[in-house]
Amino acid sequence: MQRLQDIIKERVLILDGAMGTMIQQCGLAEEDFRGERFVHLPGLQKGNNDLLCLSRPEVIAGIHNRYLEAGADIIETCSFNAQRISMADYGCEHLCREINLAAATIARQCADAVSTPDKPRFVAGSVGPTNKTCSLSPDVNDPAMRAITYDELVEAYDEQMQALIEGGVDALLIETIFDTLNAKAAIYAAEQVMERMGRRVPLMLSVTISDAAGRTLSGQTLDAFLASVSHADIFSVGLNCSFGAAQMKPYLKALASRAPYYISCYPNAGLPNSLGGYDQTPAEMALQVKEYMDEGLVNIIGGCCGTTDAYIAEYAPLIPGAKPHVPAARPEALWLSGLELCEVTPERNFINVGERCNVAGSRKFLRLINEKKYDEALSIARQQVEDGAQLLDINIDDGLLDTKQEMVHFLNLIASEPDIARVPIMVDSSRWEVITAAVKCIQGKCVVNSISLKEGEELFLAHAREIHRLGAAVVVMAFDEQGQADTYERRIAICERAYHLLVDVVGMPPQDIIFDPNILAVATGIEAHDSYAIDFIRATEWIRTHLPGAHVSGGVSNLSFAFRGNNYLREAMHAVFLYHAIKAGMDMGIVNPATSVRYDDIPAELLTAIEDVILNRAPGATERLIRIASEYSNNSQFTIHN
Closest approach of ligand THG to the CB of residue 325, in Å? 40
How is 405-446 classified by DSSP, letter by letter? Answer: HHHHHHHHHHHT-HHHHTS-EEEE-S-HHHHHHHHTT--S--
**Binding test (CB under 6 A) with ligand THG, winner from 554, 589, 597, 629:** 554
* The only residue of 302, 361, 444, 589 in contact with ligand THG, by rule CB under 6 A: 361
Number of residues that bind ligand THG (CB under 6 A): 20
> 3-state DSSP call for residue 304?
coil
Nearest to ligand THG of 224, 520 (CB atom): 520
Which of 153, 146, 145 lies closest to 129 in space, CA to CA? 153
Q: Is 130 in the site for ligand THG (CB under 6 A)?
A: no
Shortest Cβ 514–ligand THG spacing (Å): 8
- Least distance between ligand THG and beta carbon 569 (Å): 12
424 binds ligand THG (CB under 6 A): no
Q: Is 428 in the site for ligand THG (CB under 6 A)?
A: yes
In the complex, the smallest distance separating the C-beta of residue 280 from ligand THG, rounded to whole angstroms, is: 53
Tell me: does residue 352 bind ligand THG (CB under 6 A): no
CB of 583 to ligand THG, least distance (A): 20
- For 312-316, the CB contacts below 8 A with 24+ separation are 312/14, 312/16, 312/17, 312/67, 312/70, 312/71, 312/72, 313/70, 313/71, 313/282, 314/282, 314/283, 314/285, 314/286, 314/289, 315/14, 315/71, 315/286, 315/289, 316/14, 316/70, 316/71
Q: Which helix (H) or strand (E) holds 105?
A: helix 96-114
Residues numbered 450 to 469 that lie near ligand THG (CB under 6 A) are 450
Q: Is 589 in the site for ligand THG (CB under 6 A)?
A: no
Residue 465 class from Cβ within 10 Å (0-12 exposed, 13-18 middle, 19+ buried)?
Answer: middle
Helices (H), 585-616: 604-614
Q: Which CB atom, from 12 or from 588, has the smaller least distance to ligand THG?
A: 588
For ligand THG, the closer of residues 331 and 555 by Cβ is 555
Residue type, 27: G
To ligand THG, the closest distance from the beta carbon of 147 in angstroms equals 33
Does the protein bind ligand THG through residue 449 (CB under 6 A)?
yes
How distant is the alpha carbon of residue 619 from its chain centre?
Answer: 49
Distance CA 215, CA 339 (A): 9
Q: What is the x/- site pattern for ligand THG, positions 377-416, by CB under 6 A?
A: ----------------------------------------
The rounded Cα 325 to chain-centroid distance in angstroms is 24
- Would you say the C-alpha torsion 49, 54, 55, 58 has a positive or negative sign? positive
Cross-strand partners of 263: 237
CA distance 304 to 270: 10
Contacts of 601 (CB under 8 A, 6+ apart): 637
Q: CB of 499: closest distance to ligand THG in angstroms?
A: 16
Does 641 contact ligand THG by CB under 6 A?
A: no
Among 370, 558, 596, 634, binds ligand THG (CB under 6 A): 558
Single out the residue of 202, 267, 302, 555 in contact with ligand THG (rule: CB under 6 A). Answer: 555
**Distance of closest approach, residue 95 Cβ to ligand THG, in angstroms:** 48
Tell me the window of 89-97, 114-122, 557-565, 615-623 that interacts with ligand THG (CB under 6 A).
Answer: 557-565
CA distance to 140, 241, 336, 539, per residue, from 422 (Å)? 20, 25, 11, 32
Q: Binding of ligand THG at residue 642 (CB under 6 A)? A: yes
CA distance 139 to 178: 18
From candidates 207, 407, 475, 562, binder to ligand THG by CB under 6 A: 475
- Cβ atoms 549, 509 nearer than 8 A: yes
Q: How far is the CB of 364 from ligand THG (least distance, A)?
A: 6
Nearest to 100 by CA among 114, 89, 86, 112: 86
**Helices 532-546, 604-614: crossing angle, 10 deg rounding:** 70
Q: Is 362 in the site for ligand THG (CB under 6 A)?
A: yes
Choose the binding region for ligand THG from 36-44, 122-130, 318-326, 549-557 (rule: CB under 6 A): 549-557
CB 280 within 8 A of CB 18: no
- DSSP-based three-state secondary structure for 494: helix
Cβ 642 to ligand THG, closest distance in Å? 4
- By beta-carbon proximity to ligand THG, the closer residue of 416 and 449 is 449
User: Among 37, 373, 564, 583, which residue sits at the site for ligand THG (rule: CB under 6 A)?
Assistant: 564
Cβ distance to ligand THG smaller for residue 176 or 449:
449
Amino acid at 580: H
* 571 touches ligand THG by CB under 6 A: no
Name the residue nearer to ligand THG (CB basis): 215 or 544: 544
DSSP strand pairing (351-358 vs 300-301): unpaired
DSSP class per residue in 153-186:
HHHHHHHHHHHHHHTT-SEEEEEEE--HHHHHHH
- Nearest CB to ligand THG, comparing residues 119 and 367: 367
Among 81, 280, 358, 412, binds ligand THG (CB under 6 A): 358
Interface region with ligand THG, contact rule CB under 6 A, candidates 45-53, 362-370, 501-509, 535-543: 362-370
Question: Which H or E run contains 503?
Answer: none
The β-bridge relationship of strands 122-127 and 473-477 is: unpaired
Contact flag: residue 587 with ligand THG (CB under 6 A) = no
Q: Which residue of 171, 519, 523, 562 would you call a contact of ligand THG, by CB under 6 A?
A: 519
Q: Does residue 516 touch ligand THG according to CB under 6 A?
A: yes
Q: What is d(CA 395, CA 381) in angstroms, rounded to the nearest whole number? A: 12
User: Of 193, 407, 590, 613, which one interacts with ligand THG (CB under 6 A)?
Assistant: 590
Query: Smallest distance from the beta carbon of 602 to ligand THG, in angstroms?
Result: 19
- Among the candidate windows 51-59, 166-174, 358-366, 603-611, which touches ligand THG by CB under 6 A? 358-366
Does residue 274 have a cis peptide bond before it, meaning omega lies within 30 degrees of 0? no
- Asked if 363 is part of the footprint of ligand THG (rule: CB under 6 A), the reply reads yes
Which spans of this chain sit near ligand THG (rule: CB under 6 A)?
Answer: 355, 358, 361-364, 428, 449-450, 475, 477, 516, 519, 554-555, 557-558, 564, 590, 642
